[in-house]
Chain A
Amino acid sequence: MSTMESLLNTVPGGKGAARADSAGNVIEYSGPIDAETVCAVAAMSMNTLDEVGALLGLGSAKGWSIVSDKRAMYVHRRADELIVVEAQATKTPETVLKKIGQAV
């Protein structure tokens, strides 16, 4: 089982998981997701979140999640990589983000 597959199993309602470089270029992925687009969106959001962290005095972004009515995106940031998980929407994204952080 690949790293992405095992990560996907830790997320309730997980649809797909991908690993990308900091520019959003996909390195590997698992599941029926548009990994290129999902990773590009994650990479595009990174700078804005870093700016928000700086404004709040909290430093750089280590990870984030965005949940809409139907979908949820979780991003975990490593040195030069982004781990992105797409899943069904949940009412407790905090718990899922924590799980992903522990799993990677």
Chain B
Amino acid sequence: MHDSMQKITSVPGVIGAAVFDESGACLAHELKPPYEAILLTEILLQLRDVYDNYLALAESAEINSLIGAFEGGHLLIRRHQTQTLIVLASETVNLAMLGVSINIAQLKLNRIGEQQSQPAMAHGSQPPRPPPRAFERAAAQPPQPPPLPPPRASVSTSQSLRLPARGSFDSQVGISWSADDGSQQKPPPDAVGLAVMRHVLKALARRIGAVDARAILDEELRTIGATPATIRASDFTDIIHSVANRMPSADDRDAFIADALGDAGF
């Protein structure tokens, strides 16, 4: 998948490319600062209005491609089965060449998808799902977190990170961080979405490591009876502060909150 991204970004004038799954999670990307995958998720969300406008006109319920030509560059979006490919390019890019490169990348992504689904079928797993409206689903989970409330007064005085008690995490089944978590629990309309929670997980992992980050977030989610897919916007800032309050350093807390809520990166 990264090879496909690299092929696209090797076209002169291409700034970056990313692939998202139907839940809005980034599967692979070749993006340079200041562009980040979470920003592109926000773009997908914004473009939902444009899709809706068009779908009201067309008989078809599927949008396969959107191209935006701007004063300073181009945005190209292609949907293929469950994946959405986004490419950013400069004003000088050869659109025809880029279009061909994207078509080739889509073919490769399709082959990868087929290869991944074949072993699953061989083992009697579920049959492949019909192609969903990935444009809409990828944008269905709002990546923008709610406004930050005033910080809590009850900041931890512990001088070390408060991790879950030994065994408490290992002894429990880990919470699924995938779109299909098997819980049959439908995300509420005001869920912040997996993309946002994955961003929070990454922000925390950068500071305390992936294993501890996952353990802490899973524990906090269990406390409120939510999963990454179902946590509501109203609980989101609480969980961010609960996690931050486990950090002994005020600077780390502030940096994590800013990063998790998107103030630092975009």
Instruction: Say yes or no for A63: interface residue by CB 8 A criterion.
Output: yes
Tell me the smallest distance from the CB of A75 to a CB of chain B, in Å.
9
Instruction: Say yes or no for B163: interface residue by CB 8 A criterion.
Output: no
In the bound complex, what is the Cα–Cα distance between A45 and B70 (angstroms)? Answer: 14
Residues in B whose Cβ lies below 8 Å from that of A101: 69
Whether A62 touches B70, Cβ cut-off 8 Å, given contacts A55-B46, A95-B96, is yes
Q: Which positions 33-62 of chain A face chain B at CB distance < 8 Å?
A: 37-38, 41, 44-45, 48-49, 51-53, 55-62
In the bound complex, what is the Cα–Cα distance between A4 and B43 (angstroms)? Answer: 32
Whether A56 touches B70, Cβ cut-off 8 Å, given contacts A68-B62, A89-B64, is yes
Instruction: Say yes or no for B225: interface residue by CB 8 A criterion.
Output: no
Are A51 and B46 in contact (CB-based, < 8 A)?
yes
In the bound complex, what is the Cα–Cα distance between A48 and B76 (angstroms)? Answer: 15
Are A92 and B57 in contact (CB-based, < 8 A)?
no
Number of B positions contacting A (CB below 8 A) = 41
Q: Which of B48-56, B114-122, B210-218 contacts A (4 or more CB under 8 A)?
A: B48-56
Residues in A whose Cβ lies below 8 Å from that of B95: 94-95, 97-98
27 contacts between A and B (CB under 8 A): A45-B50, A48-B49, A49-B50, A52-B43, A53-B70, A55-B46, A56-B39, A56-B43, A56-B73, A56-B88, A58-B72, A59-B70, A62-B70, A63-B69, A65-B67, A66-B66, A68-B64, A69-B62, A69-B64, A70-B58, A71-B59, A71-B60, A73-B57, A91-B103, A92-B99, A94-B76, A94-B98
Interface residues of A (CB under 8 A from B): 37-38, 41, 44-45, 48-49, 51-53, 55-71, 73, 89, 91-95, 97-98, 101
Checking A61, A69, A91, A93 against B70 with a beta-carbon cut-off of 8 angstroms, the contacting residue is A61
In the bound complex, what is the Cα–Cα distance between A46 and B184 (angstroms)? Answer: 39
Checking B71, B98, B100, B103 against A62 with a beta-carbon cut-off of 8 angstroms, the contacting residue is B71
Residues in B whose Cβ lies below 8 Å from that of A65: 65-67
Residues in B whose Cβ lies below 8 Å from that of A53: 68, 70-72, 75
Are B46 and A41 in contact (CB-based, < 8 A)?
no
Q: Which positions 218-260 of chain B face chain A at CB distance < 8 Å?
A: none
Contact mask for chain B residues 36-50; partner A; CB cutoff 8 A; 1 contact, 0 none: 000100110011011
In the bound complex, what is the Cα–Cα distance between A56 and B73 (angstroms)? Answer: 9
Nearest-neighbor residue (CB-CB) of B44 within chain A: A52
Are B43 and A55 in contact (CB-based, < 8 A)?
yes
Are A55 and B39 in contact (CB-based, < 8 A)?
yes
Checking B39, B68, B96 against A61 with a beta-carbon cut-off of 8 angstroms, the contacting residue is B68
Are B65 and A56 in contact (CB-based, < 8 A)?
no
Instruction: Say yes or no for B63: interface residue by CB 8 A criterion.
Output: yes
Are A48 and B46 in contact (CB-based, < 8 A)?
yes
Nearest-neighbor residue (CB-CB) of A72 within chain B: B65
Are B99 and A64 in contact (CB-based, < 8 A)?
no
Residues in B whose Cβ lies below 8 Å from that of A58: 70-75
Nearest-neighbor residue (CB-CB) of A90 within chain B: B65
In the bound complex, what is the Cα–Cα distance between A45 and B124 (angstroms)? Answer: 45
